[in-house]
Structure 1
Amino acid sequence: MILEAVMIHVKPGQEENYEDDFRKASQIISTMQGYINHELQRCMEVKGKYLLLVRWETLESHTVDFRGSTEYQVWRKLLHPYYEPFPIVEHFEHVQIP
């Protein structure tokens, strides 16, 4: 399993619209092959700042299967106009601690 982590900054005044559209987009991502779960967290200190965490079975589930899908194009149309600046997407793997 891998964890996709994205720090998102939404354009000022667009937070409510972003959250509404994210609810719609959630229905898209949750149907994708290799998807496990996701969550969106709103920052308490900085208005318009969010943390998106998505768990995927493999890195390719996200980078190839989802991003290469027609569903991703709908996701992109819904959410990308809100970003300023465009977020950096990073992937993490679990570290086994004895």
Structure 2
Amino acid sequence: MIIKHALLRVSDGKKSHFEAAMAEARPLIAASPGFIDIEVRPSVEGAGTYLLLVRWNSVADHRDGFRTSSRYEQWRGLLHDFYDPLPEVGYFGDPL
């Protein structure tokens, strides 16, 4: 299992719209082969900042599966206009 992480910085004044769009987008990613779980956590220190954690069976399930699918295009259409700047994405393996 791997965890994909992204720090999402949502443009000022768009928090409630982002959260509604994320609720709409969750089923798109959840329907993907290799998907395990998703968490979106708001920062307790900075308004408009969220930590996205998605658990996948493998990096390929995310990168070569979901990211090349029509579901990703819908996900992107729902969410990417909220980010300023676009998030950095990283993958993490099993705990030590």
Short-chain TM bin: over 0.9
CA RMSD of aligned residues (A): 0.6
Gaps of 5+ in 1: none
> 1:63 is matched with which residue?
63
Secondary structure of 1:85's match? coil
Distance 1:95 1:56 in 2: 15
Secondary structure of 2:4's match? strand
Q: Deviations 1:9-45 (Å, cap 9, x if unpaired)?
A: 0000000000000000001111100000010000011
Q: Deviations 1:57-90 (Å, cap 9, x if unpaired)?
A: 0100000100000110000000000000000000
Gaps of 5+ in 2: none
Q: Which runs of 4+ in 1 moved over 3 A?
A: none
Percent identical pairs in the alignment equals 35
How do 1:1-98 and structure 2 match up within 5 A? 1-96=1-96
Could you say which structure has the larger radius of gyration?
A: 1
Distance 2:95 2:66 in 1: 25
Q: TM-score, normalised by structure 1?
A: 0.96
Q: For this pair of structures, how many residues does the alignment match?
A: 96
